[in-house]
Every structure is written in C-alpha cells, then in structure tokens.
Chain A
Amino acid sequence: MNIATIPIRNLRRKPLRSLLMVLVFAIGIMSVVALNYLAGAVGASLEEKLTAFGANILVAPRKETLHVSYGGMALGDVSFEVKELEEAPTIAAIREIHHKDRLSAVAPKLVHVGKVGGQSVGVIGVDFTEEMRIKSYWALEGELPAGPGQVLAGSAAAAAFSLAPGAKFSLDGREYTVSGLLLPTGGDDDQVLFMDLHALQAATGNAGLVHFVEVAALCSGCPIEDIVTQINAGLPGVEVSALQQVVRQRMATVDFVKHLALTVSLVILLTACVMIGLSIFSAVSERKHEIGVLRAMGFPKASVYLVFSFEALAIGLAAAIVGYLGGFGLSGPMLGWLALTDGAALTFSPAHFAATIGAVLALAAAAAAWPALKAARTDPSTALITL
C-alpha cells in the first residue's frame, strides 16, 4: 500500500466509469495507431507504385552534353559527342551501394542515331527487363523484342517509317523485324526505336558500353541525396543527379497521406486529452472533501497532485496497451477493406509500441496536470467548509 493505492482503488470503485474512460481513450489511440500504420503501409506501397512510373536518378558521364534523360537532348548531338560508360562495372557499382535494397530498377541505355531509308532515327538499346520496371505504364501492340533482330517502335517513329508489328525494315543496312509498337505515351519514347542493349552494342561496335543509366530508387525513409552520394562514391568521374522534380512529386504524394494521418491523429489525441482532463477535473470537484481530509492529515500538495495524476496515468497506461494492440490489429483488415493490401505490409514494432505507451503516459499526465494542480492547491479549510 502506498499513494498509488488511493487512485487505483478509486478506479476500481467505479469499474464501469473507469472502463468507459479507458475505452474512449483507447479508441482514440487505436485510431491514431491504425491511421499511422495505414499511412506508413500505404505510403510505402504508393511510393513503390509511383516508382514504377519512371526513374529518379540519372547516371551519366561527367561533362557530357547529354541532359536529363535522353528525352531532353537533341539526339543528333548525342551520337558522336557522348562518352560512354563501361556497362558491367557501372551496373555493379550501382548495385553495390549501401542502400542497394532501395533500388528497384537499374536501366542502362545506349543511344544511337540510325538511318532508315535515308532518314535519321533515334535507336535506344535497353535492358527490357529493367526498363519495364520503370515503365510499367507502357502499352504495347505486339510483343517486346525477344531477340537481337527485333525492335520495338515508338508510335511516332512507327508512323514516320510505316512500321507495323511483324514488319521487316532496314536499319543501317541490317534487317530488323518490328516485334511490337509502343502505344502513344506523350513523351520522347514515341519518337524512337528500342532494341536489346547488347544487340545495339554489337551492331554499333560499342560492346560493353552504355551512354547513361537510369535508376529508380524507393525513397521512403531515405533521402534520395544519400543514394546519389553513394553512387557517386562508387563511380568517380561519373555524374549522378537526382531528378528532383520526380522525387518531389512522389514525396509530396506520400507526405500528403502521412500529413493527413498526422492531422487526424492530432485531432483525435487532442479530443482524448481534453476528455481525460475534464474527467479528472470533474473528479477533483466531486472529491473535494477527500482532498480536504488528505490535506488535514498532512498530505503535501505534491501527494495530492500525485493522487490525481496516477489516476490519469493508470487510465492512460491501460488505454495505450489496448489502443495500440487494437490499432495494430485493425490496420490489417482496414488495409483489406480499403483495397490497399497490394504491396502494403504491416510489421509490429516493439519500439513503436514502447514509444506510444511513453507518449500516451506523457499526454495523460499533461491532460491531468491542470486539474491535479487545482486539487493540490485546494485549501484544506475551503475544501472542508464546502462539505
């Protein structure tokens, strides 16, 4: 028996009221926990999905006239001015960085200006497996090239050279077959022909060389700048730049989800805190005679403060445990109900659990501070006179 016996027994005296208090507070915490887990999972999933819509890091030779992505430069300038990168060591260096698990696609490219019927056309050698990871939005008529003699034609290029799936045509004096057409993307991909990277390297005498590499990185929880720095460290003499616009857009979407969850969480928590505060406040008014008697027995103000604080802390502790576990348990089904399970994963975090309990206890103590202080400051004679 010590001072904590008083608030604990008082909570036990009115089990229904105490249970309701814990329940309402727990529901608040449950919503916050569930929302945060959902926001985290959905944010990560969203980012992963967004990453499929393009690269966010460009690895290119330093002091090159090539601009961001091949789409931003005049292809005619590229063919003779561009220095090449060694394909194998460049890819290996990128794949070995500290945050390698954050890399979702590493897509090397060789750019060539070829001739079809006397007209120039951009030909891009790509690794189709990696390319499709960052261009999942591509829609095809036909198939991706399956061998060195096949090309994928961008819609505008196909129109310019009258290419259709299955058509044969001559490029730089070699015969190729159109395996498929790329439906209009509205971007630079429409203007060019795509073929297997190694086939283009062999055809142009650039074996083992690439002009640049596009990298798609998942950046939830890791700054893109870190990845850029790590790639740069592994590839001295190479220019690595983050496509900030893309990154910012993606992060803005993810941040929106997180901020929304945070705002809702804050409102819920504030409401819960006000409720705890009001409940303790009402307890202080109801139990004024107890305060008077305790003070008459020589209880210091601090002890009276503790009596009411402990009550709030006990409610907070119970609510935090129930709320956290309930919130985590709810997040899974909620992901399903909201049809967000695709790519979203939930992992129970003991550290997060402990931090939540700590935060809720701090909130409960803060919420009870004013009424507990009021109780502590109650003059014993006033409390007893008002009996």
Chain B
Amino acid sequence: MLVARNIVKRFGPETAAPALSGISLAVEAGDFACIVGRSGSGKSTLLNVLSSLLKPDAGEVLYKGASVTAMREAELNRLRGTDFAMIFQLHYLLPYLTALENVLTPFMKGLSPVSRENRERGLACLERVGLADKGRRLPGELSGGEQQRVAIARALAAGPSILFADEPTGSLDKRTGQTIMDLLADLNDAGLTVVMVTHDPQFAGLASRRIELEDGRVLGCEAAVAG
C-alpha cells in the first residue's frame, strides 16, 4: 500500500549528515506500523516523508503504486485531503473553533458551506471517539486526552486510508495515553492503516509492524507475533 524506496533526506548543507539515509520499507493495508528509535534517529522526518509533507532529497514514496514524490501540488492536496490523515503530539486544534467545527475543518476548504452529509460524518467521528456530547465545546474547555481525541476525529472525518500519528501520546499522561492507543488500535481493527511514531516501547508493542531507526537508517523491520 505504502512503499518507501531508498529515501534520503538531508537538512542543511550537503556535507551535513543525512537525517534519513537510504530508507526502504513497506506498509501494507491494515498494518499498524510503529516507527521507533531514539530521539534524533529520524522518526518524525520519516513520518513526514511518508505522509507527503516532506519531499525526500532522493528516493521515492509510492502509494498504491503511484509516486507520491512525483505528485504535483494539487494531487498532493487531494491525497492529504482524502487518503492521508495526520495527528500530532500536540492536538493542534484551532482554538477558536468548537470541537465539531474542528472536526469539520477538512470540509471548509472553499466558499461552499459544509454539506449536511459531511456534518453528519463529522458528528459520527466525534461519536466514534466518544465525544458526541462535547461537540460545542472549545478546545480550551476539553482535557488533554479529549483534545487529542477531537484531533483523531478530525483526522478521520474525510475517511482516510492511512493515519499518520506523530507521537500522539507524547504530551499525555500514561492513562490518557493508553486510552488514545486503545482508540488507535480499535480504528486499526476496523481497517484503518496506522503509521505511528513513538518512543514508548509499551505502545510500540501494540503495533503489528515495528520499524526501528537509528541515525537515519532502518535498524530492523519486523512484524509482531500475533497474540
């Protein structure tokens, strides 16, 4: 479903050590892939490259056989608006929109009003993350865990095929983090492909595929043993 071939990414001058050096990997539909590694190992950079936010200096990313790296701006926008979705360590909700409005943001790209169908879809997403009754609250009126769940609902609103999650539990306490991980696991069980960056070995243990990075290289890529 998602393939990376010889990805090289360098920040700064060409003499600088690359953040990613020749990374190749594949994520299958329905995978729960977890990118792990020490701080500075290139996990987030790899996630950004895989999610199309960052262009690699060399190599390419293929999604369903099409080169994401070669896509034009409009195609990338379409991909990010439909098949790909992202959540971050911090929720990054728009603080002046209610929870429901935040979830509906992906449908506010133009002057046409959000359709009834999309509104219902947004409400269903809020319900899916257990916040159906908090749609009218502003992010500031929600707890950290609730805010992250609204961010997940927002990511789900457009019905993506892959959810990229960059340390989604990084700013949460253990218990709330576990709730978020359970939610991601449920979504994965329902068929959503998840690619997640984490430094928490416990959460990484939930993944069906584990990609370990060190100094911008894949140290190991293994599928978890079921059970």
A381 vs B54: C-alpha distance when bound (angstroms): 6
Q: Is the CB of B109 within 8 A of A298?
A: yes
Provide the A1-39 mask, 1 if CB < 8 A to any CB of B, else 0: 111111001101100000000000000000000000000
CB of A71, distance to nearest CB on chain B (Å): 70
Contact assessment for A6 and B108 in the assembled complex, using a CB-CB cutoff below 8 Å: yes
- The residues in A between 227 and 272 inclusive whose CB is less than 8 angstroms from any CB of B are none
Contact indicator A381/B48 (Cβ below 8 Å): yes
Asked if B74 is at the interface (CB within 8 A of a chain A CB), the reply is: yes
| Bound Cα distance A10, B107 (Å) | 18
- Cβ contact within 8 Å between B86 and A296: yes
Residues of A within 8 A of B30 (CB): none
In contact, B92 and A289 (Cβ under 8 angstroms): yes
User: CA separation between A385 and B86, bound complex, in Å?
Assistant: 14
Give the complex CA separation of A380 and B114 in angstroms.
Answer: 24
Q: Is A300 an interface residue (CB 8 A)?
A: yes
A92 contacts the other chain (Cβ, under 8 Å)? Answer: no
Asked if B79 lies at the interface with its beta carbon under 8 angstroms from chain A, I say yes
Shortest Cβ distance from B197 into chain A, in angstroms? 13
| B101 A9 Cβ-Cβ under 8 A | yes
Say whether B90 contacts A387, CB under 8 Å: yes
A-B contact count (CB 8 A): 87
The yes or no answer to A301 lying at the interface (CB within 8 A) is yes
With an 8 Å Cβ cutoff, the count of chain B residues facing the other chain is: 37
Give the chain B neighbours of A2 by CB distance below 8 A.
Answer: 108, 110-114
Chain B nearest CB, measured from A284 CB (Å): 15
A293 to B109, CA, bound (A): 13
Cβ B109 vs Cβ A384 within 8 A: no
Cβ contact within 8 Å between B108 and A381: no
At the interface, yes or no: A297 with Cβ under 8 Å from chain B? yes
A303 contacts B by Cβ under 8 Å = yes
Closest residue on chain A to residue B79 by CB atoms: A298
A196 to chain B, nearest CB (A): 75
- Asked if B96 contacts A13 (CB within 8 A), the reply is yes
- Specify which chain B residues have a CB less than 8 angstroms from the CB of A299 in the assembled complex: 77, 81, 109
Is A290 part of the binding interface, using a Cβ–Cβ cutoff of 8 Å? yes
Which residues of chain B come closer than 8 Å to A303, judged between CB atoms? 109-110
Query: Chain A's interface: helix, strand, loop or mixed, by majority?
Result: helix
Q: Which chain A positions have C-beta within 8 A of B96?
A: 9-10, 12-13
Cβ contact within 8 Å between A1 and B113: yes
Complex Cα distance A300/B109, Å?
Answer: 8
Distance to closest chain B CB from A64 (angstroms)? 71
Find chain B residues with CB under 8 A from A9 CB: 94, 96-97, 101
Number of interface residues of A (CB under 8 A): 28
In the complex, which residue of chain A has the Cβ closest to the Cβ of B83?
A298
Say whether A384 contacts B80, CB under 8 Å: no
Q: Does A294 contact B (CB under 8 A)?
A: yes
B53: interface (CB < 8 Å): yes
Q: Is the CB of B108 within 8 A of A296?
A: no
**With A1-B104, A1-B108, A6-B94 given, is the CB distance from A301 to B73 under 8 Å?**
yes
- Chain B residues with CB under 8 Å of A381's CB are 48, 53-54
What's the nearest-Cβ distance from chain A to residue B25, in Å? 19
Q: From residue 340 to 381 of chain A, which have CB atoms closer than 8 A to chain B? A: 380-381
Instruction: Point out the residue from A5, A12, A290, A384 that lies within 8 Å of B53, measured CB to CB.
Output: A384
User: In the complex, which residue of chain A has the Cβ closest to the Cβ of B55?
Assistant: A381
Is B63 in the interface zone, CB < 8 Å from A?
no
In the complex the two chains form, what is the Cα distance from A12 to B138 in whole Å? 13
* Complex interface: chain A residues within 8 A of B174 (CB): none
Bound form: Cα–Cα A82–B192 in Å? 106
Given A6-B94, A381-B54: A300 in contact with B86 (beta carbons within 8 A): no
Task: Report if A387-B92 is in contact (Cβ < 8 Å); known contacts: A296-B53, A298-B80.
Answer: yes
B88 sits at the interface (CB 8 A):
yes
Point out the residue from A6, A293, A301 that lies within 8 Å of B92, measured CB to CB. A293
Q: Kindly provide the distance from the CB of A281 to the nearest chain B CB, expressed in whole angstroms.
A: 19
Known interface pairs A10-B96, A293-B92; A298-B106 also in contact (CB < 8 Å)? yes
Kindly state whether residue B208 has any CB partner on chain A within 8 Å.
Answer: no
Complex CA–CA separation, A115 to B125 (angstroms): 110
Residues of B within 8 A of A296 (CB): 51, 53, 80, 86
Hey, which chain B residues are within 8 Å of A301, CB to CB?
73
Q: Does B82 contact A (CB under 8 A)?
A: yes
Distance between B111 CB and nearest chain A CB, rounded to angstroms: 5
> Which chain B residues have a beta carbon within 8 Å of chain A's beta carbons?
44, 48, 51, 53-54, 73-74, 76-82, 85-86, 88, 90, 92, 94-97, 101, 104-114, 154, 158
With A296-B80, A297-B154, A299-B77 already in contact, 20 other A-B pairs whose C-beta atoms are closer than 8 Å: A1-B104, A1-B114, A2-B110, A3-B108, A3-B109, A5-B101, A5-B108, A6-B105, A10-B96, A290-B92, A293-B92, A295-B80, A296-B86, A297-B80, A297-B81, A297-B85, A297-B105, A300-B74, A384-B88, A385-B48
